[in-house]
Chains A and B, each alone.
Chain A
Amino acid sequence: MNRPPPARARPEPVQVIKQRRDGALAALTGNVPYIGFLGIRFERHGDELTATLPFSDMLIGNPLLPALHGGATAAFLETTAIIELAWALLWPEFEAGRIDPTTLGPDTLPRLPKTVDFTVDYLRSGLPRDAYARARINRSGRRYASVHVEAWQDNRARLFAQGTGHFIMPHRAGQADAGDD
C-alpha cells in the first residue's frame, strides 16, 4: 500500500478568503466617485469580475425610444476595463499578503491605470434595463495594456456594445526596470 501523502498546510477557511477578496474589490471600486454616480456594481467569482449597470432614468440618452445614452454605455465599458486591469494587478499583491485590503482607502489606494484611448462599437440600442459587462485583458505589459470589453443586457450572446482600449500601467514601487514582459 502507498503511504499517505505528506501533510500539507491546511487551506485557508473560505470565509477568510472571501473576506479578503471582497474587501479588496470593495476598496478598489468603492472609492471612485464616478462609479458610484453611475451606480456600477462588480460581482466576483474567483478572480472573474462582472460589472452591472443598473438601469436608471438618468442614463437615458434618447427619451423617444427610450435608449441608453451612448456616453453612459462608453463610460460603463471603460470603467469595467479599468477595474479589470487594476484588479489583475492587485490580485497577486493581496493574495500574497503584500497589500492588506483593509488598509485601502481613497488616499492609500494603488494608482489606477490611465486610459490612452478607448473605442466603442455600438451594436444595437441599449434598452432601458440593467446592462452587464466583462473585460478581457488581451495584453498586459510593464507599461502598456490592451483590454477588450463586452456588454450585453438580456442575452449574453447578443452584445449591445463592445469596446477596446489601451492603458498606461501605474508605476509600481520595487518593480524591476527590465524589458517589457
Chain B
Amino acid sequence: MADADPTEQSPARSPDFAKQYISALPHAMALGMELVRIDNGEAEITMPWDERLVGDPRTGVIHGGAVSALMDTCCGAAVMSHPDNAGGTATMDLRIDYMRSATPGQMIRARAWCYHVTRNVAFVRAEAVDDDATRPVAAATGAFTFEHKTPSGVQA
C-alpha cells in the first residue's frame, strides 16, 4: 500500500489488525474508502463518487489517480490479511489497466486477491467495477513486499 520501502515492517498480525490499520490510513479516509471485506488474502473496498475526485470536468468521470489509490489500498489490504503474512507490506510495483470510464455518480468497488506468495513477495491482482459489475472499470496487478511466517516452508 502506501510506503515503498521494502525494509519497513509494521506489526500487522491478524485480519482485525489489518481492518483497523486500513481504516486509519489518512489518504484512504480522504478518498472516502470503506473496507467491506478482508479475509484470507482477499479484500474488498468501496469508494463513493465525489465531485472533488473528478478528472474530467466535462463528463464528471473520476480521475484515474483516485482509482489507482483505491486499487493500491485494496491490494495492500489483501496482502495484510494473508494468513502467512508475518509483517506489514509495501508496494513494489503496481500496474493499472483502465478498461472504461467509471459511470459518474456511481460508487466504485474494488476486489483484490493474493494469487501467489513467496518468502518475500506477494503477487496480487485486483478488479474494480461500478453498478454494472459485468463490465470492469479497471484491473490491476502488483508485486508487494511480504514476510512469510514460515520462510523455510516455502519456495522462494
Contact stretch, chosen from B36-44, B55-63, B115-123, B146-154: B55-63
Are A119 and B57 CB-contacts (below 8 A) given A59-B27, A61-B1? no
Contacting residues, chain A, for B94 (C-beta < 8 A)? 70, 74, 119-120, 122
Is residue A38 within 8 Å, beta carbon to beta carbon, of the partner chain?
Answer: yes
Question: Which range contains the number of A residues in contact with the other chain?
Answer: 35 or more
A4, B64: Cα distance in complex, Å: 56
Encode B91-125 as 1/0 by CB contact (under 8 A) with A. 11111111001000000000000000000000000
Q: Is the CB of A72 within 8 A of B90?
A: no
Question: Are A71's CB and B93's CB within 8 A?
Answer: no
Q: How large is the interface on B (under 10, 10 to 19, 20 to 34, 35 or more residues)?
A: 35 or more
Closest approach, in angstroms, between the C-beta of B71 and any C-beta of chain A?
8
A17 within 8 A of B: no
Cβ A160 vs Cβ B4 within 8 A: yes
Interface 0/1 of A110-132, CB less than 8 Å to B: 01101111111111111000000
Given known contacts A116-B97, A118-B95, is B26 in contact with A58 (CB within 8 Å)? yes
Q: Which residues of B contact A115 (CB under 8 A)?
A: 64, 98
A59 & B26 in contact (Cβ 8 Å cutoff): yes
- Contact in complex: B64, A60 (CB < 8 Å): no
Smallest distance from the beta carbon of A73 to chain B beta carbons, Å? 7
CA–CA, A63 and B1, complex, Å: 12
- 8 Å CB contact of A78 from B57, B64, B92: B64
Please, which residue of chain A has its CB at the minimum distance from the CB of B68?
A74
Q: Within the complex, which residue of A32, A109, A122 is in contact with B91, where a contact is CB–CB below 8 Å?
A: A122
Q: A71-B73, A75-B68, A106-B57 are in contact. Are A61 and B2 (CB under 8 A)?
A: yes
Chain B residues near A112: list those with CB within 8 A: 55-56
Closest to A160 in B: B4
Say whether B28 faces chain A, with CB atoms less than 8 Å apart.
yes
Of the candidates A70, A79, A161, the one having the most CB atoms from chain B within 10 angstroms of its own CB is: A70
Q: Is the CB of B93 within 8 A of A121?
A: yes
Is A123 a contact of B4 with CB atoms below 8 Å? Answer: yes
CB <8 Å contact, A33 and B52? yes
Contact A32 B3, beta carbon cutoff 8 Å: no
Name the residue of chain B whose CB is nearest to the CB of A72: B27
Interface string of A46-82 (1 = CB under 8 A from B): 0000000000011111111101111111111011000
Q: Contact: B72 with A71, CB < 8 Å?
A: yes
A70 adjacent to B2 (CB under 8 Å):
yes
**Which B residues are in CB contact (< 8 Å) with A38?**
65
Please indicate the chain A residues that have their CB under 8 angstroms from the CB of B88 in the complex: 62
Q: Which 5 A-B pairs have the closest CB atoms?
A: A61-B2, A71-B69, A75-B65, A67-B3, A122-B4
Interface residues of A (CB under 8 A from B): 31-34, 36-38, 57-65, 67-76, 78-79, 106-107, 109, 111-112, 114-126, 160-161
Q: List 6 A-B contacts (CB under 8 A).
A: A69-B72, A71-B73, A112-B56, A117-B98, A122-B90, A122-B93
